[in-house]
Structure 1
Amino acid sequence: MSYPKEFLDRMKNELKDEFDLFLSALEMPAPVSVRLNPFKQTEFFYDSEIIPWCENGRYLSERPSFTLDPLFHAGCYYVQEASSMSIEHVIKENVSAAGPVVALDMCAAPGGKSTHLLSLLPADSLLVSNEVIPSRNNILRQNIAKWGSHSCIVTQSKAEDFSSLKGFFDLVLVDAPCSGEGLFRKDPDAMEEWNLMAVSKCSQRQSEILHHAGELLSEGGLLIYSTCTWEREENEEQVKILIERGGYELIQLKKNDEGIVQSEFGLRFYPHKVKGEGFFLSALRKTRGVRMIASKKKSAYAEQNQKAIIAKYLEGPELFQPFEKNGLVYAIPAKIYPEFNLIKDKLYIRHAGVPLGEIKGKDFIPSYELALCTHISDKTHFKDLSLDESLEYLRGKWPGVKLEDRSWSLIKYKGFALGWAREVGGRVNNYYPKECRIKMM
């Protein structure tokens, strides 16, 4: 591969005797890794090599066709680059399991960090997962739905739109847009877009995002900052500026693999030293600031039909509060409803709790998100399909299998839900979302 000269010169100056090893590593195939969903446990990949810094992370010996694996579409695992799973160590070391937290993933698409946070945060925590770019927000919502969590709110807002929520969050993760040097091996297009001007623009944008993100943290709150580049201007310099402004203390992150490099302001991952791509990770504790607490006022009135939907489709219906908007009914966990109520008019919300479905006259059409939710009632009628039948279903077709029930049927593969189907007039209709359907044969 032909790398930009400015990039090579800087890396040679930085790595010195290790530069040739680094360059050789960039020419090697990128490792394949996945992170298992602890809420949808399967034996698939379980015996694969464990990623040292991630309990549910696995290295694969080769890249399978994930598109043709129904368990991928069921959300049993997430395909993710290994180095970026290192946020797990920061959470486990610095977030108390004693009580729930309110967390924000500021730049969340495509959803790797958010689904990871949903696996790690204490019970009854709330995660606000934000992505401002509409097309990327669509992908984020699909991945959040697959993960099956009920305690996430997806927003589509600019960093500055959060200004009315100063001191609201206990944890803010900024996986910032960057120049992407760490992805050169995995994504050659990132190399085509790289230049010194792009580095400078990324640095400016990162500084703006961090400024807004910092204001949202309560005193004692945790700020996690990461990028997939090696540029000091985008990494250590950003952290240094925050500390020099005051109000933060640097958390000395521990290395849990000898290949990880400790720098003055964080951890660095290089492909010739760890089995992963380029990555930078830092964490800071906010030492002063305000704290905003959501009012625990009584929940809003719920219509009987909304309560009936929750009672029919969710386990522990008493744990949820219904919310309706534009005909779509949501189930919000009661313990995070005050926080939801506070932010619902301040941010552009695209997904909240469990989107149950749509009320159309006397009919209720259950949602794709409900199908994949881990809180769905085990009394829901289902049909388990074979591999070939499941792939036909995922393509938007119906494999000719008879449904034993004429009501809505949950379609499963190996016990894990994929979506809905319904028999109408002797014909089975496939309700798998068009935007999620696979085209590969």
Structure 2
Amino acid sequence: MPGYLRPETAQGQFLNFAKLLEFNQQSMPFASASIGKSFRNEISPRAGLLRVREFLMAEIEHYVDPEGGKKHPRFVEVKDLEMSLLDRNVQLSGSTKTTKMTIGQAVETGLVDNETLGYFLGRIQLFLLKLGIDLNKLRFRQHMANEMAHYAADCWDAELQTSYGWIECVGCADRSAYDLTVHKNKTGAPLVVRATRAEPLRIEEYQIDLEKKKFGPRFKKDAKAVESAIDALSQELREKLSLDLEKDGKIEIEVAGVGSGKVELEKDLITIEKRTRVDNVREYTPNVIEPSFGIGRIMYSMIEHVYWSREGDEARGVLSFPPSIAPTKVLLVPLSTNPAFKPLTQRLTSKLRRLGVSNRVDDSSASIGKRYARNDELGTPFGITVDFQSVKDNTFTLRDRDSTKQVRASEDEILAALKSLTDGDETWADVAKRLPEFTGQEVE
């Protein structure tokens, strides 16, 4: 049996739609997400993580009721977010000049198709900025009509500027109801939402009744095909056939593969009447808004964006990882190999571990400046120096990687500050305002 490698993680979510809807207690809207390996047939893999055959992909499928304009209850949280947008009309003119506007304005003017799509575009920007992406190297480009999937209502790419130019790292598309409709047609599974109507809907329609006791013996093995053809008749055709049946006492319908392709039905076999039906339930196929993240491309671009060198010394590189994503949050640096420092270092390590703050100790014989410098290159955002003053009064210096500024405070205050910094509740500027600056020699 041949095997196939998936080109995206989305389809597994669509196949599980009915179960996901059940988990969400049949309520709309809702979303699912997955992350995993995907595969593409890249002819010439190149440029590091930018073009590879096997890559990590994360996708969100947000299912929304198409009736009502695809509103989003939390759109107000991002509507004032300013974004750099490159729409298709600007691209058609041969320009790549972006327009800065709030996502609220973009949705209001119709540049972005709907609120839910706009909400996710805003959230994508906030996510990328939290990773350390440079806002000046981020833009959202709208797909041209000839590159957008035939089923998409609108599609935007978050592009990041790198040494290889502008790179698509996140796509956000309104995929309409395409995927669920195709899966439903292929499998026969009812991938739909059944919602109770606020007001019952009264529908006038032509309904057909068959005299089954006569119908079966008349058509025998072809009965099922004939019945399917009758069920498929449109309302317009049913109206015409009801008049023909009343006038002639018989009608003729087309049934492929049965006899000459046409079947005659008399009054004693079929009845067509106009009736009123009360519908209390609305059945619909949800539309899908899909943000799709290329994890490798985001990481590659982010590392380029956060790398810089100290002024006047290009050899001193720094990776300014935000604390939330830095592999190691804190470097513990004993001033020397003096045995008095070891108990303090061990105690700090233990307490930081319990706080969930990853840390490591560098007690090598290199100078304290060199130890900090090489960890700046690894992206460690903070450092604690253990010195002789620490032995005397249990105070420590806390160093910020990017500014090299330091504050000094008690053990509890330093630990509380680190927890707050790594959780994203405070910035270094906040901590520097409330903890005393270390006025001794700064460690660079």
TM over 0.5: no
The higher radius of gyration belongs to: 2
Normalising by structure 1, what TM-score? 0.24
Which structure: greater strand fraction? 2
Output the TM-score relative to the length of structure 2.
0.24
